[in-house]
């Protein structure tokens, strides 16, 4: 529970100030705990950020694994993932900002949680697209490139929308994104 309290406090500060301008002391003050408690739970500030990313990646990985075993059409699987992803992000717009902003920070690209988030999620999309092509659900395409395009489109949209504090209206955003992706990959 302490890890989550620390992570939640860090998310607020990271969204407002960015990684470089957030200190463990600031996080401890926000969480109303001693600085030592942070170091009991995390090695350093990077460890907190890594935990945030790994936690969010784990949620998405678990959901995608369930989707991959379902009998739904592959485009439906992709759409259901988008619904899940936006549902998670709309619960905490500050988290959405942190996930986008800090995953783009080259100084943090070595963190396992960030690597999982930005590399493994597109790999799941690739898997879905490969299966969709095999089943004749989508046009012939480069699944790796298309997966990266889908992931980048989602990231860019979330950054733009979260920056305007508009994720609470995620239904229309999801609808447009799903329509855009479906039209881009569907058979013609």
Q: What is the pLDDT along the chain (188 residues), one digit of tens a residue?
A: 899 999 999 999 999 999 999 999 999 999 999 999 999 999 999 999 999 999 999 999 999 989 989 999 988 998 898 889 888 888 888 998 899 889 989 999 999 999 999 999 999 999 999 999 999 999 999 999 999 999 999 888 877 776 666 666 667 888 888 899 999 998 87
Q: Does some domain include residue 9?
A: no
Distance, CA of 98 to CA of 101 (rounded, Å): 5
Chain centroid offset of residue 91 CA: 13
Q: Does some domain include residue 93?
A: yes
Number of domains into which the chain is organized? 1
Q: Does some domain include residue 39?
A: no
Q: Does some domain include residue 29?
A: no
The pLDDT score that the predictor gives to residue 102 is 93
Expressed as residue numbers, the domain containing 133 is 46-185
* Cβ burial 114-132 (10 Å sphere, 16+ → b, else e): bbbbbeebbbbbbbbbbbb
- Listed residue (169, 166, 170, 163) closest to 16, CA to CA: 163
The pLDDT score that the predictor gives to residue 162 is 67
The pLDDT score that the predictor gives to residue 161 is 73
CATH code: domain of residue 125 = 1.10.357.10
The pLDDT score that the predictor gives to residue 168 is 60
Q: Does some domain include residue 176?
A: yes
Q: Does some domain include residue 1?
A: no
The pLDDT score that the predictor gives to residue 108 is 94
Q: Does some domain include residue 8?
A: no
Q: Is the pTM of this model over 0.85?
A: yes
């Amino acid at each position: 529970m302490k890890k989550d309290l620390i992570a939640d406090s860090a998310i607020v500060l990271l969204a407002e100030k960015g990684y470089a301008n957030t200190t463990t002391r600031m996080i401890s003050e926000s969480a109303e705990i001693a600085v030592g408690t942070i170091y009991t739970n995390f090695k350093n500030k990077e460890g907190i950020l890594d935990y945030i990313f790994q936690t969010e990646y784990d949620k998405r990985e678990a959901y995608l694994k369930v989707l991959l075993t379902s009998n739904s059409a592959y485009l439906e699987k992709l759409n259901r993932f988008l619904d899940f992803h936006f549902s998670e992000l709309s619960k905490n717009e500050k988290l959405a900002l942190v996930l986008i902003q800090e995953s783009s920070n080259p100084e943090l690209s070595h963190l396992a949680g960030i690597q999982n988030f930005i590399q493994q999620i597109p790999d799941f999309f690739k898997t879905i697209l490969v299966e969709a092509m095999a089943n004749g659900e989508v046009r012939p395409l480069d699944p790796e490139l298309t997966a990266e395009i889908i992931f980048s489109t989602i990231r860019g949209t979330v950054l733009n929308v979260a920056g305007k504090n508009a994720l609470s209206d995620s239904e229309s955003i999801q609808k447009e994104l799903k329509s855009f992706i479906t039209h881009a990959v569907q058979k013609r």
